Amino acid sequence: MNSTSYSDSFDFDLDGIVDLITRTGAATAGLQFPEGFKRRAFSMACELEGRTSASVVISGNPCFGACDVDMALAGEVDILFHFGHSELLDGMDNVIFMETPAKVDVIPVLGAAADELESGTTVGLLTTVQHVHKLDEVKSFLESRGLSCVVGEGDSRIRHPGQVLGCNFSAGDVECDNYLYIGSGKFHPLGVAVAFGRRVLVADPMMNTVEWLDPERILRIRSGIVAKCLDAQTFGIVVSTKVGQNRMELARRMAGLAGKYGKEHVIIMLDNITPEAMLQFKVDAFVNTACPRIAIDDASRFNAPVLTPVEFEIVLGERDWDELVFDEIREGAK
């Protein structure tokens, strides 16, 4: 699937955007996209300028989640449309979160999924914002195949029941035998499997594939990284300036722990945490308090091991090895 056809598989609701710009009389509009949707930016900007009287500005910055709203652009325009994510934080009055649901039919992949799940068992349903509008349909289908389904509410960082983020698996906190995750990629379902110690079946409606996940490999890799850091003496504790990723309080707690165990440490604050940006900081290891995915997805590209806060606590002996889970950014219960 090439990237043009990929973005064509989602509903950007252009008519709704035109309507909102017209109704509010916005003279300037901003557009912000995650990487996979950026190819649509130019044509969408041209179309919106043709159909409304607003002038459009596109955010060229990388965008990884709803935690990462381009606040500078939001300050420049009357209204900012942020695509691909659900709202995460309150107080962004001129930012409209366009969830951009996938148009794909999820039913074809569910037959194979139902064959994998034992009739009479209870399944926790999970997905990303792109398919969350299909969960009622998924539930009806699976119940017609003799399965019981539960959908967790999640905490206040979660906008829709059953929705998971790469930093928040709270919607998986339900009583069930197994989980069914509808979506692409393995990060979210691996996080769920590790967090709750139950099996996760991944049904990808884009690729029409079904697969049971085995979290053992990633746990082995993370255990190896923890083991490598047991003798580390100097730590860079990384904090993000991004509005929805900033965990300075946690970073200060990590710094306090480092001090308690006689480890040299410094807090490093930056916007985009990339291997290139960290290259000049000569430390034995980093402790990442920003987006939890950074420590996992890009692990091999950094010049020093990147620990999550949980892993750092294991390195210091504050936690046991069997408490190794993915880092999450959890917030209040709903």
Q: Is residue 67 within 8 Å of residue 291, measured between CB atoms?
A: yes
Helices 14-24, 41-51: inter-axial angle, 10-degree rounding? 40
**Does 66 sit near ligand SF4 (CB under 6 A)?**
yes
Output the smallest distance, CB 236 to ligand SF4, in A. 19
Interface segment toward ligand SF4; rule CB under 6 A; list 60-68, 74-82, 132-140, 191-199: 60-68
**Does 251 sit near ligand SF4 (CB under 6 A)?**
no
Output the smallest distance, CB 311 to ligand SF4, in A. 17
Residue 259, strand partner residues: none
Q: Is residue 239 within 8 Å of residue 269, measured between CB atoms?
A: yes
Among 77, 79, 113, 165, binds ligand SF4 (CB under 6 A): 165
Measured distance CA(19)–CA(129) in Å, rounded: 23
**Does 158 sit near ligand SF4 (CB under 6 A)?**
no
Alpha carbon distances (Å) from 87 to 29, 72, 130: 18, 18, 13
**Does 306 sit near ligand SF4 (CB under 6 A)?**
no
Q: CB neighbours of 165 closer than 8 A, spacing ≥ 6?
A: 65, 128, 157, 158, 188
Pairing of strands 79-83, 28-32: parallel
Strands (DSSP E) found in the chain = 28-32, 55-58, 79-83, 95-98, 122-127, 148-150, 178-182, 200-204, 209-212, 234-240, 264-270, 285-288, 306-307
**Does 291 sit near ligand SF4 (CB under 6 A)?**
yes
Our CB check for ligand SF4 shows the closer of 7 and 289 to be 289
Residue type, 144: S
Among 65, 84, 154, 162, binds ligand SF4 (CB under 6 A): 65
Our CB check for ligand SF4 shows the closer of 35 and 318 to be 35
Our CB check for ligand SF4 shows the closer of 251 and 291 to be 291
Q: CB neighbours of 45 closer than 8 A, spacing ≥ 6?
A: 31, 56, 58
Closest residue to ligand SF4 in the complex (CB)? 65
Helices 135-144, 107-116: inter-axial angle, 10-degree rounding? 50
Our CB check for ligand SF4 shows the closer of 123 and 237 to be 237
Our CB check for ligand SF4 shows the closer of 120 and 332 to be 332
**Does 67 sit near ligand SF4 (CB under 6 A)?**
yes
**Does 167 sit near ligand SF4 (CB under 6 A)?**
yes
**Does 257 sit near ligand SF4 (CB under 6 A)?**
no
Helices 216-228, 309-316: inter-axial angle, 10-degree rounding? 50
Output the smallest distance, CB 239 to ligand SF4, in A. 13
**Does 239 sit near ligand SF4 (CB under 6 A)?**
no
Among 12, 33, 64, 83, binds ligand SF4 (CB under 6 A): 64
Measured distance CA(167)–CA(188) in Å, rounded: 8
**Does 244 sit near ligand SF4 (CB under 6 A)?**
yes
Query: Which residues of this protein are in contact with ligand SF4, per CB under 6 A?
Result: 64-68, 165-167, 244-245, 291, 293, 329
